Structure 1
């Protein structure tokens, strides 16, 4: 792991907009770049993960690193950096950013074929690692969370999981992007996607949950096995809430008592409408609200936290 980049000693933080690690160097986010010929760019041949920093501490860093390692293994990628070095790089990116709340991404890109190797075979490529930390971003703005997100069920189906494994984080966002255009056209906040059989999968960058008759339901396939989703199950156990992982057909989504979303960049995010139908009193439901409040309270108490040294 090369760390020989000379960092600025000027009072103004040149990393204030973001700090990145690319090709063995730490640079301001605006200077981070990859070659146009990289398969990560040309073929979306990338796996990635995102971990949040809140109140100066990573949340479930070990879980995110384990999932990232599993994703690289599934895609036959192996950068030169070890997992211990990757952990140190993520920490350094946050230190350079200098924020106590940050959105931290780690990528492994396929790269380009090595000289003398078959030009069109993925095994010929030299894989490489990149990372960055930027100020915290919300997938669903806080004011939308307070009133509950207005969701639609997209007409665009999720890419079948037999084609692209959604449990391996990837850049294949064609279906998710189409769903977001539907959101714009209908004046909603976000979208849920169904699989080809009409069952709930996930949304653009988040897991989705349905609550019916006091039970929390989560799809059994077609979605990322989110770290915050895992956290939801732990919270259900703490609060004595029943939950079930199983297929959720469209009719159950439309008839839900409550719906909420979960993601690293937002935590637990309640909804109040689905396809124009108002749930409850057009505000976050009681179970969704309790899960959200408990999530952030435990976070403030240091639950699953890995502090970042050196932050003011």
Structure 2
């Protein structure tokens, strides 16, 4: 039986069964909206302010006026976590354009919907954190930045879903996505790092990636540990020839990747720097 949770919609709480939005909402009809996925540790949301800043910037980029202040939304997120007695778990914060008549015109929409879901999540089996996971390169690429900025965390994730399907059909739980130039961007839901000769490398923002909150935290931890860290364009060659590889994300946290396209990365096992940064991240979120 599913755990009973209280879902926040525009200042009110509803059960899972009663939490509803209009079928005319542009978020449903056209993927017109933005969202954030956040983690709670010991009842506290990890880097909530950074997530909300990114949410506001995503909304600003698509011309979606937030119907609430950041201060009020901060209170509401924390209240939703407390109401659901969420100690360690996941928070999905969604803002839709709101409902309107059929058609693309967003200026005819009204009543943007703010939805907060606080619940438990298990993205990957625990064995993948100890043994590492396999990746496959997807043919579906990241959105072209000329079409939609990859820095906008929008509700339209169809290209990521298609890439995820490619991975699953190949027997891999994650898939690597390239950008329009054939460079490494990110995975379907996570940022990617490689270790080479003791140094840490990750694709830059202009490679067509979402600037991950966990990604930035790991970069900070690496710098504090004295690990040389560089953001630079990469191709699959850089992953094939890397000593280590790992992924980061709010839901995934830090997880090693040990194979790409059937080829071992390094010795095919999680490496020492991956383990070091994973331990440092786990200590950070519990601090």
Distance 1:250 1:80, change over 3 A: same
Show the counterpart of 1:59: 46
1:129 aligns with 2:116: no
State the TM-score, normalizing by the size of structure 1: 0.86
Show the counterpart of 1:90: 77
Give the SS at the match of 1:79.
Answer: coil
Question: Could you report, residue by residue, the CA deviation over 1:186-242 in whole angstroms, capped at 9, with x for unpaired residues?
Answer: 111211100121101111211111222222111112110010011011011111011
Partners of 2:203 and 2:123 in 1: CA distance? 20
User: 1:73 offset after TM fit, Å?
Assistant: 1.3
Answer yes or no: is the 8 Å Cα contact 1:52–1:104 preserved in 2. yes
Show the counterpart of 2:190: 206
Show the counterpart of 1:161: 145
1:287 aligns with 2:270: no
Structure 1 or 2, whichever has the larger Rg, is 1
- The range that moved more, 275-284 or 209-218, is 275-284
Answer yes or no: is the 8 Å Cα contact 1:228–1:264 preserved in 2. yes
Structure 1 unaligned runs (5+)?
1-14, 303-312
Answer yes or no: is the 8 Å Cα contact 2:26–2:100 preserved in 1. no
Partners of 2:253 and 2:141 in 1: CA distance? 25
User: 1:28 offset after TM fit, Å?
Assistant: 1.8
Give the SS at the match of 1:26.
Answer: strand
Show the counterpart of 2:181: 197
Give the SS at the match of 2:98.
Answer: coil
Answer yes or no: is the 8 Å Cα contact 1:55–1:101 preserved in 2. yes
Answer yes or no: is the 8 Å Cα contact 2:240–2:265 preserved in 1. no
User: 1:127 offset after TM fit, Å?
Assistant: 4.7
Answer yes or no: is the 8 Å Cα contact 2:240–2:264 preserved in 1. no
Show the counterpart of 1:215: 199
User: 1:172 offset after TM fit, Å?
Assistant: 2.0
Partners of 2:263 and 2:103 in 1: CA distance? 53
Report the aligned-residue RMSD: 1.9
Partners of 1:256 and 1:46 in 2: CA distance? 37
Partners of 1:35 and 1:61 in 2: CA distance? 28
State the TM-score, normalizing by the size of structure 2: 0.93
Show the counterpart of 2:31: 44
Show the counterpart of 2:225: 239
Show the counterpart of 2:162: 178
Show the counterpart of 2:215: 229
Partners of 1:92 and 1:253 in 2: CA distance? 42
